[in-house]
């Protein structure tokens, strides 16, 4: 009989929980499952920053475009967040204050 966790279910033996949420590729910025990075001709790894530093790999055109699009998407998201914050502050009463961060 397996013991259930506090939420009424448990993971199999040896499994501590859900897999870590893999972020975007460090090189191209794409989701890991659609990474466009080529394999390193020296060590045959893909998307390894060390290959670009130590094995002489260079970013290709597609990687450069993907990185730029990722940065633009991140900036757009930050702008939307700031616009929402500004709107929220404008809706507060005239005596609203905050600590400087």
CA geometry: angle 27, 18, 26, nearest 5 deg? 5
d(CA 48, CA 40): 8
Residue 76 tokens read as 């757009």
Other C-beta atoms closer than 10 Å to the C-beta of 93 total 5
Q: Any idea of the CA torsion for 38, 40, 43, 44, to the nearest 10 degrees?
A: 20
pLDDT at position 23 is 80
pLDDT by residue (tens digit) across 13-71?
A: 555 555 565 789 999 999 999 999 999 999 999 999 999 999 999 999 999 999 999 99
């Amino acid at each position: 009989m397996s013991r259930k966790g506090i939420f009424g279910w448990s993971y199999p033996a040896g499994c501590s929980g859900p897999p870590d949420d893999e972020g975007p590729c460090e090189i191209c910025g794409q989701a890991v499952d659609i990474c466009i990075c080529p394999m390193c001709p020296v060590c045959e790894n893909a998307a390894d920053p060390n290959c670009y530093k130590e094995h002489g790999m260079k970013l290709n055109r597609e990687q450069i475009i993907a990185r730029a699009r990722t940065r633009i998407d991140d900036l757009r998201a930050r702008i939307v967040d700031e616009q929402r914050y500004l709107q929220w502050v404008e809706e507060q009463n005239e005596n609203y204050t905050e600590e400087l961060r």
